[in-house]
Amino acid sequence: MAQHQNRRVILKERATGLPKPELFETVEDDAPSPGPGEVLINNVYVSADPGMKGWISVARNYASVETGTTMKAFSVGVVVESNHPDVREGQVVAANTGWAEYVVADPESPTFRTVNPDDAPISTALGILGINGFTAYCGLLEVGQPKPGDTVVVSTAAGAVGSAVGQIAKIKGCRTVGIAGGPEKTALCTEVFGFDAAIDYKATDDMDAALRASCPDGVDVYYDNVGGTTLDILLGQINLHGRVVICGTAATESWIPQPAGLRPERNLLVNRIRMEGFLTFDFVKQYPQAHTDLLQWLKDGKLAYREDIAEGLETAPAGLAGLYAGTNKGRQLIRVRPDPFV
Ligand SMILES: NC(=O)c1ccc[n+]([C@@H]2O[C@H](COP(=O)([O-])OP(=O)(O)OC[C@H]3O[C@@H](n4cnc5c(N)ncnc54)[C@H](OP(=O)(O)O)[C@@H]3O)[C@@H](O)[C@H]2O)c1
């Protein structure tokens, strides 16, 4: 088989706070060779995800990247060599691989899937028809369990996960309120993603009052992507038998030392509130159903999405850092090479 030259981004040093570009380095070497049953993929897009802060942190996490190894990431690309009977060269596939031009993947892995380039732009396999859409769908429907007429509040509402949560909640007959940073993002929430109201947390001195004004009947589901003081405030406005989906902790820069905050237990008890941590990979079995529904809603014009695509693998570390400054305007992706389908 042809030997390909590879470029990849490795983790040089673990993070003690927010991920900085200096923690990474781009290296060049030979592309890896697929072993028995494996495939070699030439990536087209890779992602930058807020969860990566945890993957590279010195603090304990559900996933980890070792120093000196390729930074883990979600990717979509074209198979250039296959040792698997069900995957052929030229097929488009999405997988959990890394920030690299060429990657080896195991098609038997639960997160490996083929992508139909006729359905939608292949970049969506990393966004609304991929990890973000699946996270929104499973977290909201399985954990948040919204009912028609419920008020659903979402943080990072203009982002990839948050905007999908708001739209799915709307499809399910809920009233939706988004929290986002800046007037451009709150306008996106109401004008593009169909939220009934949006709050700019960066321009609001009194979030408690702003939320009460936007949620006159209280909050039935809070889909929390940030934690911190926003969560503390929301906990005081959750209705009887309300649900809080803990999906992300973007507002906390570091977990060392452990930050102190509100004591929620009395409120949880009195109002019988269910507050539950959500990890998308616990729901991989629901991904095919999520994909079917999300694709249908996309085709029906019920789902809008935004992408922020940076050019070139070497921009990935800066793209990641930008997520914590909120500079991304939608799903943060990195185009590794020209997209052969556009
Ligand atoms: N649990 C899971 O399995 C799982 C899976 C995927 C994603 N997630 C979580 O879902 C959330 C959204 O992910 P995404 O990929 O869709 O990213 P995103 O919302 O497109 O981008 C991240 C956003 O976080 C917000 N942010 C950054 N720093 C913040 C701070 N200090 N306080 C409040 N907000 C801050 C910014 O939006 P603003 O400008 O609006 O502040 C930024 O644009 C993240 O928390 C991520 O960890 C969880």
pLDDT recorded at residue 256: 85
Q: Domain spans of the chain?
A: 5-127+306-335, 131-281
What's the gap in Å between 26 CA and the centre of ligand 1?
Answer: 25
Q: Which of 168, 225, 232 to mutate to test the pocket of ligand 1 (most atoms within 8 A of CB)?
A: 225
Q: Phi/psi of residue 184, each to 5°?
A: -65, -40
How many CA atoms are closer than 13 Å to the CA of 261, on its beta-carbon side?
A: 16
- Average pLDDT along the chain: 97
pLDDT recorded at residue 271: 97
What's the gap in Å between 157 CA and the centre of ligand 1?
Answer: 9
- Look-up of token digits 């900085």: 20
**CATH superfamily to which 131-281 belongs:** NAD(P)-binding Rossmann-like Domain (3.40.50.720)
Between the CA of residue 337 and those of 31, 73, 101, 145, 313, what are the distances in Å?
15, 16, 8, 40, 8
Residues flanking ligand 1, CB < 6 Å: 49-51, 131-132, 135, 156, 158-162, 180-181, 185, 225-226, 247-248, 250-251, 278-280, 323-324, 326, 328
Predicted TM-score (pTM) of this structure: 0.96
pLDDT recorded at residue 62: 78
What's the gap in Å between 159 CA and the centre of ligand 1?
Answer: 7
- Write the DSSP symbol of residue 260: P
Ligand 1 atom at minimal distance to the Cα of residue 327 = 43
- Look-up of token digits 């390909």: 4
- Given CATH 3.30.420.40, say whether it is the number of domain 5-127+306-335: no
- Write the DSSP symbol of residue 282: G
Q: Which residues contact 291 (CB under 8 A, 6 or more apart)?
A: 129, 133, 134
User: For the ranges 74-88, 116-130, 245-259, which has the lowest average pLDDT?
Assistant: 245-259
SS3 35: coil
- Write the DSSP symbol of residue 3: P
SS3 124: helix
Q: Phi/psi of residue 72, each to 5°?
A: -70, 145
